[in-house]
Amino acid sequence: MVEYSGMYTHLRDEHFDEFLKAIGTGFLVRKIATNSFPSVEIKVNGDSWSIETKTLPKTWSWTFKIGQEIMLEFFPYSDVKAVFTLDGNNLLQTNPDDPDVITERVFTDDGMEQKMTHKPSNTVCRRYFKREKV
């Protein structure tokens, strides 16, 4: 099994702007998001996880347990409910109130791929991150 905990540095995106358009993100926020190069720190202790995503304009910090519903602060978007589940090396994030978007984080020894799917439009984007060596 792969190690989840660690620091991840953004490498590149595929179809990120298209995804943001599909979920209704305005022009200005899309431009900021697509020109941001986030770093992600993940800490895992048993079934307790924390994910901290740092970008130039904002840092998001989420702490959760696998399988429990939580509220995620997601400014500039509305806060959303989420449930995280684990399937092998995949961390799946779903929203019980709005099943239109699914986020899957696929972990490898080298990094993480964050795949986001907008189901109604069938728009899929991928964000690739490199694992930083300790």
Three-class secondary structure of residue 5 per DSSP: coil
What pLDDT score was predicted for residue 111? 97
Architecture of domain 6-129: Beta Barrel (2.40)
Type of residue numbered 74 = F
User: What's the pTM?
Assistant: 0.91
Residue pair 71/79 in contact (Cβ under 8 Å)? The answer is: yes
Query: Domain residues of the chain, as ranges?
Result: 6-129
- State mean pLDDT over 120-129: 97
Give the pLDDT mean for 88-98: 91
pLDDT tens track for 74-85: 655 567 889 999
2-32 pLDDT tens trace: 999 999 999 999 999 999 999 988 998 899 8
Residue 72 sits at the vertex; the CA angle it makes with 37 and 113, to the nearest 5 degrees, is: 40
